[in-house]
Amino acid sequence: MISVHSTVSRMESMRTGMFGPYGGAHVPPVLQPKLTTLADAFLEARVDPAFRATLRMYLRDYVGRPSPLYYARRMSERLGARIYLKRKDLNHTGAHKINNTLGQALLAVRMGAKKLIAETGAGQHGVATATAAALLGLECTVFMGAEDAQRQAPNVERMKLLGAEIITTDAGTATLKDAVDAALAYYIDHPDVFYCLGSAVGPHPYPAMVREFQSVIGDEARAQIVDAEGRLPDAVVACVGGGSNAIGIFSAFLNESAVALYGAEGGGTDVAALRTAATLSRGKPVVFQGSYSYCLVDEHNNPVDAYSISAGFDYPGIGPEHAYLKDSSRVIYEPVMDDEAVAAFHMLCREEGIIPAIESSHALALVQKRLAGSGKLVLVNLSGRGDKDLGRF
């Protein structure tokens, strides 16, 4: 097994943008200076006591951190494992996305930017970006696929209420990949804006930067589970789309070899036929949207359209750190099919009175598939709430 994530390797990835062979900044020359400036500003800000204190203040007083760790008693009894839920659904805006958008928005202010742009699929990152922009007095434009805008209409309305301009695209399947393409094109043409990227994907420094801002999830959860149970969990489970909520919670346990890590991918309806979003299970390494990582591709290595019941998973790529963790076998990634996720969604609603996002429901389904009857202590990252998914299945 490849040795993963000593302190030195974590710092090295922040500096170089590489996770083993994966990552980098494969971008047009016009973008390279902007990304270099961003990387330098991020490295300076993350060690600036004033920046860190301001971010901590907003996470505590505005977001409501630390988010609770909840022992799911009825679900535990049903599945035969001790299951704790890290309740990101109770964050302000209802998901983990606000951790990252606040960090990036504060960095934008530090760099003198006046406008944030963002891409969004399920809408949670768009809402979180619009929220951070309103809080800090920044303009905001959010790019969204037309298909996602229709199926996530409540989040579109929230973004508009928060003052964001919504630009939809009909390109491709009119989902997340196409929204990223539109946002990148705008970023190239408007050098004065700050691109607030929502997941641990894309060119350097975004994967390392997003991990840094989302690592608060793992830091909190590690302390909370030790406080509750007196030890580390046997397993940590998270859903994986682009990969930000998963890398956020995994980051605190990567060096703990006794803690198994599981990532639930969007299996869709047919993994073998590529009617899926299971990038790590079915894809191969290529350069895609600024980074070298796994991607769902055809026989000519061209990206194909991903499919999942989850709008947050409709993306053929994956963050480069997850690619490295797959190859090193540190994390086990497994597809969860649409029907399995829907069943897990209903189970949590009825057993615990919690309505999870359909993305988070993939993680719950993987617990049922992998760990039911094990008696193990399991930590699940409940990445968001399910208001946006009501009436869709």
Q: 19 has which bridge partners? A: 22
Q: pLDDT tens-digit profile of 313-368? A: 989 999 999 999 999 999 999 999 999 999 999 999 999 999 999 999 999 999 99
CB 122 within 8 A of CB 388: yes
Cis ω before 21 (30° cut-off from 0): no
**Interval 189-212 mean pLDDT:** 96
Q: Residue 1 burial by CB count (10 A; 0-12/13-18/19+): exposed, middle or buried?
A: exposed
Q: What is the residue extent of each domain of the chain?
A: 25-59+98-207, 64-95+214-389
What pLDDT, on the 0 to 100 scale, is given for residue 1? 28
CB 49 within 8 A of CB 55: no
Q: Residue 332 burial by CB count (10 A; 0-12/13-18/19+): exposed, middle or buried?
A: middle
Residue 389 is classified by DSSP as G
Q: Output the six-digit token pair for 122.
A: 């399920």
What pLDDT, on the 0 to 100 scale, is given for residue 151? 85
**Interval 236-264 mean pLDDT:** 97
User: β-strand 115-120 against 18-19: which pairing, if any?
Assistant: unpaired
Percent of the chain's residues with pLDDT above 90: 91
What pLDDT, on the 0 to 100 scale, is given for residue 111? 98
Q: Can you state the angle between helices 124-136 and 153-161, rounded to 10 degrees?
A: 10
Q: pLDDT tens-digit profile of 274-295? A: 999 999 999 999 999 999 999 9
What pLDDT, on the 0 to 100 scale, is given for residue 312? 87
**Interval 133-140 mean pLDDT:** 98
What pLDDT, on the 0 to 100 scale, is given for residue 391? 83
Fold match, 25-59+98-207 / 64-95+214-389: yes
Q: pLDDT tens-digit profile of 60-103? A: 999 999 999 999 999 999 999 999 999 999 999 999 999 999 99
Q: In the β-sheet with 18-19, what is the strand arrangement from edge to edge?
A: 18-19, 22-23, 291-295, 284-288
Among the ranges given (36-50, 262-276, 305-319, 346-360), the one the predictor scored with the smallest mean pLDDT: 305-319
Highest mean pLDDT among 141-155, 180-194, 213-227: 213-227
Model confidence band, residue 216 (pLDDT cutoffs 50, 70, 90): very high
Give catalytic residue positions.
Answer: 97, 119, 383
- Of 219, 211, 212, 221, the closest CA to residue 322 belongs to 211
* Cα gap 33→313, rounded to integer Å: 30
CA 382 to chain centre: 12
CB 303 within 8 A of CB 295: yes
* Cα gap 336→380, rounded to integer Å: 15
Tokens 């969204």 correspond to 144
**Interval 253-274 mean pLDDT:** 97
pTM of the model: 0.95
Provide φ and ψ at 306, rounded to 5°: -80, 160
Pick 25-59+98-207's CATH classification: 3.40.50.1100, 1.10.760.10, 3.40.50.300, 2.40.110.10.
Answer: 3.40.50.1100
Q: pLDDT tens-digit profile of 11-39? A: 889 999 999 999 999 999 999 999 999 99
What pLDDT, on the 0 to 100 scale, is given for residue 160? 98
Looking at domain 64-95+214-389, its CATH architecture is: 3-Layer(aba) Sandwich (3.40)
Indicate if the pLDDT at residue 4 is higher than 70: no
User: β-strand 260-270 against 235-240: which pairing, if any?
Assistant: parallel
CA 258 to chain centre: 24
**Interval 201-219 mean pLDDT:** 98
Mean pLDDT, all residues of the chain: 95
Provide φ and ψ at 195, rounded to 5°: -85, 110
Provide φ and ψ at 307, rounded to 5°: -140, 135
- Of 382, 363, 358, the closest CA to residue 152 belongs to 358
Q: pLDDT tens-digit profile of 164-179? A: 999 999 998 898 899 9
CB 102 within 8 A of CB 216: no
CB 357 within 8 A of CB 312: yes
